[in-house]
Amino acid sequence: MPDLMSNAVSGLLAMQQALATTGHNIANANTPGYSRQTVNLASMQAQFQNGSYIGSGVQVASVTRSYDQFIQSQMNSATADNSRYSFLQNYTTQITQLLGDTQSGVAAQTQAFFNATQAVAANPTDLTARSTFLGSAQALASQFNTIDGQLQNLDNQIGQQANQIGTQINSYASQVADLNGKITKALASDPSAPPNDLLDQRDQLVTQISSLIDVKVTTDNAGNVNLNVGTGQSLVLNDTATKISVGNLPSGLSVTLGGADITARVSGGTLGGMIQAQGQLVTPLRNELGRAALVLADQVNQNQAAGTDLNGNAGTNLFTPVSGFAPQTTAMPTNQGTGSATGSYTDPTLLTGQTYTARYDGSNWQVSTVPSDGSAPLSVASGGTLTLPGMSVTFAGTPQSGDVLNILPTVGAAGKISVVQQDPSGVAAAATGQPAGSRDNTQMTALFNLANQALVGQSAPGANNGVSLSDAVNTAVSQAGSYAGQVQLSAQAASSTLSNLTAEQQSVSGVNLDEEAANLMRYQQQYQALAQSISSANTTFQSLLGAFR
């Protein structure tokens, strides 16, 4: 039956919960992912008494969190973008520092090598000029080796870090799945009493996953949050998490989820940044430097073999012969068969700088360029040999349908070039047939002119419609610098977007300590007033007792 005492007690209990919630907000003001909670009060059902409905006091209808699903969704997307560009910005900065500029880096060293031929051409019998020329060749080879080695080291670091990221994603996904189970159980018990703290923890985990890999978030009526990667591959489904696996192949990172290769579908988060760095910067750069190194070795060696050295002997190789190089071929870890491929170079000047993917369709290997140039795939049976621009590839083994091989024609070649001619008198400056001690400079002059011949990437032998060696190296360096500039602008925009969304999210969900302090005072005053009501009820009760004594 409603009365002054019971109404006041209901109010005291409600104020106790309001004060406790306010204290909870204050305690979690700096907790990442915490959403401010609010106690929602409602009057208790009135009771009919003496011809009227008399109020029965107050009750806590619910405790809700200040939360905006739309903002949270934008935050997850912005977090994925910001993490991707943050990694790319840091990575491209390291690479541009390695390359140097056209005045001090590998491009300058290439030009210095060709310039050194002029001193030998001016005085073909001078051993000092010849030694300087060999020293310049050695410096250029060392520069190619150093840059390719450092790029390889950075690539290895990506692999190690990516493996750790895969472990983190699996840990976070497992926690999300566990929280799904707890949250759905709580909501099934009482749909009007959502477990706010568990919901915040789950949202924070989803944000952390988004910083590592882009995920699509969906919810269901039971309270589950389901996470998908790529085109719908499930990372978390209800209370079950699927493990993700990350490996680093010579062709780049390989990401599998539940046994399916999803590498091409990962575009956000730190992991997406890593894949982008490899596919759009590291691999193309190593490809171009490797192609330039191969053409350099091939053409300089041909020049030397066609001449005569200071002792009157036929010229020999200056650099490592092209026969000592081979394209890299790697099998995807998801392959079920034993298919493999080996390659050799036929004419490095015809290499296009592209990489290739071979996919077995159950009958033949279908070989396509990466990125696709729009042409139809070339078909070759297992055990057959395929002729590609500048090289040939032979396939072997027993592949299974769906197996994939990656073919990297020139990646890593810059790290293998070396100077094999150590004797200054062994440099072939004169044309073939010239006697010992000849002052003929035919080969040195031709070698100097080689710098400006458009041999790299020509369409056919002797077509001279490619780019020069110097331009090939300069282009690789300048493209890396341009890419780094674009990444920096994108990184600034992504960071600004995330900052704006964070501020908007905090305006909705963040704890304002001034507001909470005001709430404390308000609830305390109401609590004191209710306590006074109880005191008044007690006084009235005592007066009534006294009247009947």
Percent of the chain's residues with pLDDT above 70: 95
Confidence of residue 1 (pLDDT cuts 50, 70, 90): very low
Q: Give me the sign of the Cα torsion angle 369, 374, 380, 381.
A: positive
Examine residue 285 and state whether it is found in any structural domain, yes or no: no
pLDDT of 3 over the 80 cut:
no
What integer is the mean pLDDT of 124-131?
95
pLDDT score at 492: 94
pLDDT score at 191: 87
Q: Minimum mean pLDDT among 40-44, 46-50, 338-342, 413-417: which range?
A: 46-50
Examine residue 144 and state whether it is found in any structural domain, yes or no: no
pLDDT score at 102: 55
CA distance 35 to 66: 6
Contacts of 288 (CB under 8 A, 6+ apart): 353, 410, 472, 473, 475, 476
CA distance 529 to 423: 103
End position of a domain, from candidates 349, 373, 408: 408
CA distance 214 to 211: 7
pLDDT score at 2: 58
Examine residue 543 and state whether it is found in any structural domain, yes or no: yes
431-442 per-position pLDDT tens digit = 999 999 999 999
pLDDT of 414 over the 70 cut:
yes
**Residue 261: how many CB atoms within 10 A of its CB?**
18
Beta bridge partners of residue 370, listed in sequence order: 355
246-282 per-position pLDDT tens digit = 988 877 888 999 888 888 889 899 999 999 998 888 8
Query: In terms of C-beta density within 10 A (0-12 exposed, 13-18 middle, 19 or more buried), how is residue 545 classed?
Result: exposed
The verdict on 267 and 332 lying in the same domain is: no
Q: Give how far Cα 311 sits from Cα of 122, 431, 442, Å.
A: 18, 13, 16
pLDDT score at 103: 60
What are the tokens at 463? 């077509």
pLDDT score at 361: 93
pLDDT score at 419: 96
Please give the angle made by the CA atoms of 487, 266 and 174, to the nearest 5 degrees.
120
Which 8-state DSSP code applies to residue 44?
Answer: P
Q: 48 is in which domain, residue-wise? A: 4-66+512-547
pLDDT of 40 over the 90 cut:
no
pLDDT score at 549: 60
pLDDT of 149 over the 60 cut:
yes
Q: CB of 399 within 8 A of CB of 331?
A: no
- Reply yes or no: is the peptide bond before residue 371 cis, omega within 30 of 0: yes
The verdict on 266 and 337 lying in the same domain is: no
What integer is the mean pLDDT of 347-372?
91
Examine residue 311 and state whether it is found in any structural domain, yes or no: no
The verdict on 179 and 265 lying in the same domain is: yes
End position of a domain, from candidates 385, 408, 431: 408
Confidence of residue 547 (pLDDT cuts 50, 70, 90): low
Contacts of 164 (CB under 8 A, 6+ apart): none
What integer is the mean pLDDT of 231-255?
88
Would strands 391-396 and 340-345 be described as parallel, antiparallel, or unpaired? antiparallel
Give how many domains the chain has, as a whole number: 3
When the pLDDT of each residue in the chain is averaged and rounded to a whole number, the result is 89
Q: Minimum mean pLDDT among 322-331, 414-423, 530-539: which range?
A: 530-539
Confidence of residue 231 (pLDDT cuts 50, 70, 90): confident
What are the tokens at 197? 């703290």
End position of a domain, from candidates 378, 408, 438: 408
pLDDT score at 111: 87
Q: Minimum mean pLDDT among 151-155, 381-385, 419-423, 539-543: which range?
A: 539-543
What are the tokens at 474? 């300069």
What integer is the mean pLDDT of 431-458?
93
Confidence of residue 14 (pLDDT cuts 50, 70, 90): confident
The verdict on 258 and 187 lying in the same domain is: yes
Would strands 260-261 and 307-308 be described as parallel, antiparallel, or unpaired? unpaired
Examine residue 117 and state whether it is found in any structural domain, yes or no: no
Q: End-to-end CA distance of the chain: give it in Å, rounded.
A: 25
Query: In terms of C-beta density within 10 A (0-12 exposed, 13-18 middle, 19 or more buried), how is residue 265 classed?
Result: middle
Examine residue 245 and state whether it is found in any structural domain, yes or no: yes
Examine residue 279 and state whether it is found in any structural domain, yes or no: no
What integer is the mean pLDDT of 217-241?
90
Residue linked to tokens 């929602």: 40
Q: CB of 257 within 8 A of CB of 379?
A: no
Examine residue 80 and state whether it is found in any structural domain, yes or no: no
Confidence of residue 430 (pLDDT cuts 50, 70, 90): very high
User: Residue 139: in which H helix or E strand, if any?
Assistant: helix 127-189
pLDDT score at 304: 96
Q: CB of 26 within 8 A of CB of 516?
A: yes
79-110 per-position pLDDT tens digit = 999 999 999 999 998 888 887 755 667 888 88
The CA dihedral of 68, 74, 75, 81, to the nearest 10 degrees, is 180
Query: In terms of C-beta density within 10 A (0-12 exposed, 13-18 middle, 19 or more buried), how is residue 472 classed?
Result: buried
The verdict on 257 and 348 lying in the same domain is: no
